[in-house]
Each structure stands twice: as C-alpha cells, then as structure tokens.
Amino acid sequence: MADPQNNPLLNPVLRFMRAPKPARVSGGGKTASSIMVERLPRQRKVLAEQFTEMANSAGKRPSFGGRVVVYAAMFDDSLATSWTPSDLFHPTHGVRLIAPYRTGYLLEMPAKSLAGYAALVRNSTQIKEQVDISRVEAVRFFNSNDAAAAPSLDKLWEAAPEIEGGRAFVVWLMPMKEEVASEEVMRDFAALRDGTIAPAPALLENLDLNDADLPAPLRRSLRSVATTGDRINIALREYRQTQRARTTVILPSAVALDALVGSGTVFRIEPVQPIGSTSPGEGREPDRPLPQNIKHLPIVGVVDGGLTATSYQPAEAWRAPPFFPDRDADTVHGNRVTSLVVQGHDWNNNLTLPPLYCQIGTVQAVPKRGARVFFDPQAFIVYLDAIMAANPETRVWNFSLNQPVDCECDQVSPLGHDIAVIARKHRVLPVISIGNKPGNCLQPPADCEAGITVSGRLHDANGAPSDPCPVSLAGPGPCSMLKPDLSHYSHVRALGGAVIKGASFATALTSPLAAHTMHRLRDASPDLVKALLLHHADGGIYDPSIGFGTPRAEAMPWECRPGFVTLQWTAALRPGAAFHWELPIPASLRKSGKLKGSGALTAIVNPHPMVSDFAGPNYFGVRLETALQFQRGVTDKGEVKFNNLLGALDTGKVTEQAARAIDHKWSPIRHHRRDFRSVGFEGDTLRVYARIFPRDLYHYNFSTADEIPPLETVFVLSVGTGDENDDVFNELRDQLGAFVETSLVDSDLDIDIDNEEL
C-alpha cells in the first residue's frame, strides 16, 4: 500500500464555504385538539386522588424550604417535548420543573399546595392545563428507591469498593431550584458529615508534584487542583453557584447509606466503579526501528497502564506523572497498546492497515488486575483535565480502558459524561474502547458523546474486515447514542509477538488514523475528524456490533474516493430556523436525464451546553435533523417542492419512544447513505437542509429557544457515481468556484485548487 504520509493527494476533501439561507419556522402549541379527550375525565379523578394522598402524607417526607420533590410520569404517547407539562406545573402555581426523569419529570412544589392541586386537576378549564392533565399518567413522591436505583440498599452497599474508612460512592445532590430550598439541601447535606458521610481523599494526594522532570506548566496545573480543598466543600460551592453538584463520599456503614438516601438530599447515588484493561498475554519485546521523522508526526495521548518498553521511548513526546505507581499499573497492557498506536501496521502487515506512525504521550493511569488500589473517578478527571491543558498539541487521546459495569440505557455514566466535558473544553477527540465480555452491552466511558467509541471486528483470509468480534461488547448506547461509532481489527499482534484480542486493541488501531486526519486538516475540529472517519467507514447503515463500520483502506478520510467528491463545512445553528445550502448537480449524476449515483451525508452537532447528567434519558437537550434534497413538483402554496434524496426523519408519523429507540431521534450524529437510480428531478441544484430542535429549556434556565447559544455543527457530504472515469470531483469543484477550497494543509497538495483564476 502506498504511504499516505508522503503521497501527495490529487483529490482532497474540499471545504465548502457558501453561507446557508436560514428560513424562520414556527412551532406548534397546545390547543384543544391536543387534549386526549377520551381519558381526560379519568385522569382528573386519578390525579386528584394521588395529590390528596400525597397531601395527607407530606409531613413524613423530606422537604426543603417547605418544598417536596414529586415525580410526574407521562403516558407513552406523551413523551415528546411538545407535551412537557409546563402549563399544569407552572411557577404561577408555585411549582418548578426540576429535570426530566425516567418517563416523566421531577418537580419541586410547596407541600401546602398538594391539596390545592387536587382541586386544580378536577376543575381546571384552561385548555393547556387540560392538555397536560390528559397526558400525565401518575404523580407520586420521589423516594429513596429512586435515588438508589438498585434492588435494595444492601446490594448497593455490597457493590461499592472498600477503602479506608468505609465504602466509596458517587452522589448527586438534589437539584432544587428555589433558593431557600437549595440552601436547605446544602445545610442538610453538610450536617451529614457528623458521623454519616466523609469526603473522599484529597484530590491527587498520591501524585509526586515535586518531580524535577515535570514541566512547570503541568506542575502548576496539577498543584492548583490538588489544593482546592475538601471534596464536600468543593461540591457545596458548585451547588451554590449552579444548584447542581456531584461528588465522591465515603460511608462507614450500611446504616449510614440508609441515612444518606433517606435524607432526601441525594438525587442519585451509585458505587464508585474501578477501571481495567484486557489481559494481553505474554511475549518477547523486539527491537523495532522507528521513522527518522517521528518527532514531526502527530501525538496520541495514551491513557493506559504506562510505558516501560525501551524500544518505544524514542516515540514518547511527553510523559505525565503517574496516577498509579509502577507496582500497581498495568504496564504490560500499556506497552501493547502503545506499540499499536505507534506502528500497528508493522505488527500486522497481513492486515489492510495504512502505514501511519505516531508519537505518544504517556498517561499511566490504569491499574493491573488484582492491584489493591482505589480508583477515584473525580481525581482521575481533574488529573486528565490538567494534563490536556498542559499538552495542547495532543489532539487525539486513546482510552483502551473500561469500568466493568454495563452502561444504563436511560442515563449516561459519570465517567462518560466527564470525559465529554473535558474533551469539549480542550477541543480534543477521545477514542474509547467499547469494552469486552463478560457483559451485556457497552461499558463506561464508551458512552462519551464527544468521543469515537470503537468495537472489535475480525478479519478474513485476505486481511480485510469481516464479522463482528465475539469478544467485544456491542451497542447501542444510552439516550439515543449510536455507539459504537466505528469498529476495527481486534485479533492482532502487538509488542511481545503473541496474538491478542479485545476492543482495547481495535481502539489503538483507530487512534492513529484519527490523529493523522486531525494533523492533515486545516482548522480541524474533533467533530469534523469524527464525521470524516464515520463518513468513510465501510458500513452501509448503523449496526450495534460494528457501528458505522471500519475505516476504508482504499482511501484516507481526508481524500475523495474515485468517482466521488466530498465536501465538508461547519456552521453555527440555532433553533427556530431551517438552514439550507445550495449546490449545483454534477454533470455525471444527471447525464441520463435523471439522478443516478450514490451519496452520503454525515452531520454532528456539538450539543454543549445543552447536555446534563441530571437529565436521565433526556441527556441531550437538542437534536439535529438534516437531509440532501432535490426539486420536483410544487407545494399547495405553489412554491417549489423539495424532496429528500438522503436523510430526514419524519418523526411526526411514529411515537416518541419508537423515534428514540429505532431512529435514535436524539442522537447528535446523523448519517445517511443511499444509492439512487433514475430519480426524476427539476431545476439545476440540490440543497442540504438542517434544523436544530430543543427540549427541556427549563432545565438549562432558558425561557425561550432564542436564548440558546449557536451550536457548532459539522457536515460531510459525498456524491458521485463510483466510476473513476466520471470526473465528479472537478465537475463540482469548477461549478462551485470560489465557494470551495482544499481542506488540507498546503504540504499535502499535488495541485493548486485555491481558485485564484476563477
């Protein structure tokens, strides 16, 4: 295979620079036709009885500032954002929506208003309130079983790791909205320190921050984290600012666990989970020569068991102070993963892998099996945060690690969420293992929305991608996530020479491709790199075992395949408008008089700040809809009618549950691929359509969708015939003229396509 590191490109991916045409759209609303008339009388009676029962028992429930927490469950046909019961549970009635929860919502309301709500649901004549009454299935108090989310507190206790002083748990404080209520939550939680809870050990207390070889910027960053103080006080300060906080606590006994959960100050509690890696086997360390230009190649941050193999130290660009000491770290696994990141193609020259060498940054943070150490996820995240800040040139990070627990289907793991937050903060791309069996589905942090999650895949006799790996876990991910994103070879050779297997090693083969794609692109963003890798994978549609497939060997993500042209662009989108980009139809696609060829459209929205680990199944507060459209016919108003050639989901024809489960409606990734034959069309142009839809504005303290900041969205579009004799690339490039430029740095080009002559 030709060396893509030194081979100039003839047809690079093009950056599309035409501005979109936004068109204002109006949303619907609750009207009399929205009332579920057949069940309204029954729900008036049911809800009134439940509110009366709660009013009679409110004195026995935890309350804060006289306010109690209530769960309102919705009917299955009323889970769409349009039916949020914000009119029935409105601040004018003294009620505040707190957060989405399970198949409904949590509310905080004055205990003294419960009896009044019984009368309200019986007698309301307001249309919007009647809509809500007919769509709320039941109401009840939020209780300790909700917070624990376990069969019993005894099982929750036994699942937590033992450390000095008791067992370790992650807790989320109850996110009360009213100031007097949130102050009381803080007061009651702080009071539990008197014999019930204790803070986890100080952040990064085990790190040697006096190491003379430690770069000064990293030392300063780590020291600032290590001296921020007591964990519980840190959480209380965060809660005072945002009314939300999560922290790690130590409980001395099961009795203390019962007291904490029963206090009502905890919204969610779960055991701290360790992290681990796949056992790689044994073998001899060979002497591997590395390229002379290794210091000029992209760097991958390898968060694993560390590096002790002397043959790969010349490829080490930097090294962080170890999170775990050598005696406890899984250095064998770290060496194996490092060898694949640096030169996986050399170790597996029988497989179709491009020759992509990389440097590495070493983060020794994964313990070996059997090590008696406590993995502190909160300390792990602040440690990574500081290391990413100190190494801004490292844009891709390899995480061949997992926590040994299944991801929950209706909420994102703390570790997956936290890695997404710091990845978005530093604009880096995590590449993460999906995990290995035993297990039923992917394992944290494979549910990190900002990363590329990688599963395993077998190879055939010719070294090409084949069946799903029987060792690797599968998706999909929680909250509509399409996980895994990609798959790669998982039965490979690495340092030591033995054949090893597992998703860890598939991840290590994917990271170099991501790093080189990031290195090749002008103004590269993590989402753009991710979109290009997904776009150029070999899968036709998403598969929960292999994701969107394995990166193609015949072309790199930064180049167009023969017979195709690929455009990429980035836009800042807002809710409340539909955006359109026009582009001409290449002559090769229309030469028969009808559209003939194939296409693919991939789009990824950066959903931050509209994500929340307090939102349960509604983790994403926005969604993206997109399509490639062609002209044919007219609308009822006599306007040009656009039909979808690729994409767009007609969510109005399916239930919200089906749209979430089957069509992954709230996934931040949209990927559409299709062959089209003899499609009649009118006009000379295609257009790309995109629209952002929000939900749960109250959860983000927004009153209207206009307050949501612009959301960065990347698009990758390919169209073509697949026939290398059709010059689709130059046809569209010439038609677009000054509206396109190369996506790549100048050193990669074999031609000048700056369009200065156009």
Overall average pLDDT of the 522-541 stretch: 94
What does the pLDDT look like over 473-527, one tens digit per residue? 999 999 999 999 999 999 988 887 788 899 999 999 999 999 999 999 999 999 9
The pLDDT value recorded for residue 288 is: 61
Question: What is the rounded distance in angstroms from the CA atom of residue 173 to the CA atom of residue 98?
Answer: 12
165: pLDDT strictly greater than 80? yes
What mean pLDDT, rounded, does the chain reach? 89
- In order of 74, 543, 636, the CA distances from 641 in angstroms are 37, 33, 9
What does the pLDDT look like over 219-229, one tens digit per residue? 887 887 776 67
pLDDT-based confidence at residue 5 (cuts at 50, 70, 90): low
Nearest CA to 4 out of 370, 389, 358 is that of 358
What are the DSSP calls for 457-497, one per residue? Answer: EEE-TTS-EEEEPSSB-----STT-----EEEE-EEE-TBS
The pLDDT value recorded for residue 2 is: 44
Question: What is the rounded distance in angstroms from the CA atom of residue 415 to the CA atom of residue 422?
Answer: 11
Angle at 551 between CA 549 and CA 553, to 5 degrees: 130
The pLDDT value recorded for residue 280 is: 40
- Of 64-68, 191-195, 411-415, the one with minimum mean pLDDT is 191-195
pLDDT-based confidence at residue 638 (cuts at 50, 70, 90): confident
The pLDDT value recorded for residue 284 is: 40
**Tokens of residue 284, six digits:** 């001899």
610: pLDDT strictly greater than 90? yes
pLDDT-based confidence at residue 647 (cuts at 50, 70, 90): confident
Nearest CA to 454 out of 423, 421, 480, 477 is that of 477
Overall average pLDDT of the 107-111 stretch: 94
Question: What is the rounded distance in angstroms from the CA atom of residue 390 to the CA atom of residue 212?
Answer: 16
755: pLDDT strictly greater than 60? no
**Tokens of residue 368, six digits:** 């070996």
What does the pLDDT look like over 292-333, one tens digit per residue? 889 999 999 999 999 999 889 999 999 999 999 999 999 999
Residue 60's CB: how many other CB atoms inside 10 A?
A: 8
279: pLDDT strictly greater than 50? no
715: pLDDT strictly greater than 50? yes
CATH 3.40.50.200 segments of the chain: 299-535
pLDDT-based confidence at residue 636 (cuts at 50, 70, 90): confident
Overall fold of domain 299-535:
Rossmann fold (3.40.50)
The helix or strand, by DSSP H or E, that contains position 100, with its residue range, turns out to be strand 96-101
pLDDT-based confidence at residue 183 (cuts at 50, 70, 90): very high
32: pLDDT strictly greater than 90? yes
The pLDDT value recorded for residue 685 is: 92
The pLDDT value recorded for residue 287 is: 47
The pLDDT value recorded for residue 663 is: 78
pLDDT-based confidence at residue 649 (cuts at 50, 70, 90): low
The structure tokens 């020759």 sit at 355
The pLDDT value recorded for residue 514 is: 97
- Of 2-6, 177-181, 635-639, the one with minimum mean pLDDT is 2-6
Question: What is the rounded distance in angstroms from the CA atom of residue 152 to the CA atom of residue 89?
Answer: 32
- Return the axis-axis angle of helices 414-426 and 377-390, rounded to nearest 10°: 10
Overall average pLDDT of the 125-136 stretch: 94
- Of 4-13, 86-95, 463-472, the one with minimum mean pLDDT is 4-13
Question: What is the rounded distance in angstroms from the CA atom of residue 481 to the CA atom of residue 417?
Answer: 13
The pLDDT value recorded for residue 658 is: 76
- % the chain with pLDDT above 70: 94
The pLDDT value recorded for residue 365 is: 95
Residue 438, preceding bond cis, omega within 30 degrees?
yes
What does the pLDDT look like over 671-685, one tens digit per residue? 999 999 988 988 899
587: pLDDT strictly greater than 70? yes
The pLDDT value recorded for residue 603 is: 96
- Of 254-263, 589-598, 636-645, 709-718, the one with minimum mean pLDDT is 636-645
The pLDDT value recorded for residue 664 is: 86
The helix or strand, by DSSP H or E, that contains position 12, with its residue range, turns out to be none
Give the strand pairing for 452-459 and 465-468.
antiparallel
652: pLDDT strictly greater than 70? no
Overall average pLDDT of the 421-433 stretch: 97
Q: What are phi and psi of 240, to 5 degrees?
A: -60, -35
- Of 196-205, 549-558, 644-653, the one with minimum mean pLDDT is 644-653
747: pLDDT strictly greater than 80? no
- % the chain with pLDDT above 90: 71
Q: Which residues contact 254 (CB under 8 A, 6 or more apart)?
A: 153, 154, 157
Q: Give the residue with greater pLDDT, 278 vs 79.
A: 79
**Tokens of residue 655, six digits:** 């239930």
Give the strand pairing for 299-304 and 246-251.
unpaired
283: pLDDT strictly greater than 50? no
Q: What is the 3-state secondary structure (H, E, C) of 522-548?
A: CCCCHHHHHHHHHHCECCCCCECCCEC
Overall average pLDDT of the 388-399 stretch: 96
Nearest CA to 53 out of 108, 104, 117 is that of 117
Overall average pLDDT of the 381-399 stretch: 95
741: pLDDT strictly greater than 90? yes
Sheet bearing 682-694, strands edge to edge: 21-24, 577-584, 682-694, 622-634, 640-647
The structure tokens 């539990």 sit at 192
The sign of the dihedral angle between the CA atoms of 350, 352, 357, 358 is negative
Please classify residue 155 by burial: count the beta carbons closer than 10 Å to its beta carbon, then call 0-12 exposed, 13-18 middle and 19+ buried: exposed
pLDDT-based confidence at residue 387 (cuts at 50, 70, 90): very high
The pLDDT value recorded for residue 227 is: 66
